[in-house]
Amino acid sequence: MKTAERSSETLPTPATAMSVFVLLLVLLSLSAVSSHFLTGRTGTTVGLLIAAAKMTLIFTYFMRLRYQSGLVRLFALVGFFWLGLILLLTFADYLTRG
Amino acid sequence: MNTEIVTEISPFSNETQRSMAQHLGMWTFIATEVLFFGGLFAGYALYRTTYPEIFAAGSHRLDFWIGTINTAVLLTSSLCMALADSAAKLGRRAKLQWCLAGTWLLGAVFLGLKFYEYHEKFVEHLVPGAHFLPGGGAAPQLQLFFVLYFAMTGLHALHMIIGLGLIGWLWKRAGRGGLSPGHTAPVEITGLYWHFVDCIWVFLYPLLYLVR
């Protein structure tokens, strides 16, 4: 039943959108508050992890990936794969220079 | 000669397939945008790891509250866009227009705060170039932080301005009744763009404003 319901949905209901929004604000507060306590690498890592969590929520619900086929999801993620390669090769060069 | 009149030509066998193709096309464009901004993010990562203390000093010169409020403003505009999406699907024209107006106004508030910030940085001599902190004493690499700050937020602001144009166009179109429940693609696709631009800011916020 639930699966059938889900497959017929194509976008989040207003109630779901509201819950996602509240979660996003909670994550934003967490990010803002934690920046006052965490410094250096820990601070950056936490900041980026929270940003990634926010992006996941936006991609999944607001941008409808939850309701899309595997092919659309693949297209959505492929840019990040290339970005990963850019970062990997850039740092492979700079971090190994004498 | 064949004179048969073809009334409807469509490469799609049904609405679902058509909608999927539209989303695929937009996600392909978004992948190119990830790489477009990605070059700047890679440059940022490189200089940030090379000069961590200087980037922290640069971040301290940005306004934490403006950055935080602007993030909340953009997240709220994304909510309005998501609500516009569902209003379009249900064919509720008035609600659709209100939601689009909300999205547009919040986007404009974001840009207003952003340009106020640019003005502040200009007055404080933090714009890279010959007049950057003329008193001396600042590390030369501090300019690198501000080059990246202006390039990244500037490119983002340019995307926001384009987004405002698109949302204004949608609002007008919705008012004329040009968006029926069976034809919501313009709202959906503009929504994907708007939410993506929001995601870029979600990453700019900790990388520029929260470096300690």
pLDDT at B177: 86
pLDDT at A57: 97
**For B91-96, what is the mean pLDDT?**
94
Beta strands in chain B (DSSP E): none
Quick one: pLDDT band at residue A8, thresholds 50, 70, 90?
low
Is the CB of B205 less than 8 angstroms away from the CB of A79?
no
Token readout for A56 is 């996941």
pLDDT at B203 over 70: yes
Nearest to B195 among A38, A63, A94 (CB): A63
Token readout for B116 is 């106020």
Question: Is B80 near chain A, with CB under 8 Å?
Answer: no
Q: How far is the alpha carbon of A80 from chain B, nearest alpha carbon, in Å?
A: 7
pTM tops 0.95: no
Which residue in A66, A12, A19, A24 sits closest to B75, CA to CA?
A24
Quick one: pLDDT band at residue A9, thresholds 50, 70, 90?
confident
pLDDT at B134: 80
Is the CB of A14 less than 8 angstroms away from the CB of B32?
no
DSSP A49: H
Helix-, strand-, coil-residue percentages of chain B, each rounded to 5: 75, 0, 25
pLDDT at B141 over 50: yes
Question: Is B68 near chain A, with CB under 8 Å?
Answer: yes
pLDDT at A7 over 50: no
What value does the mean pLDDT of chain B take?
Answer: 93
Question: A22-57 pLDDT, tens per residue?
Answer: 999 999 999 999 999 998 889 999 999 999 999 999
Residue B43 and residue A87 in contact, taking contact as beta carbons nearer than 8 Å: no
**For B168-196, what is the mean pLDDT?**
93
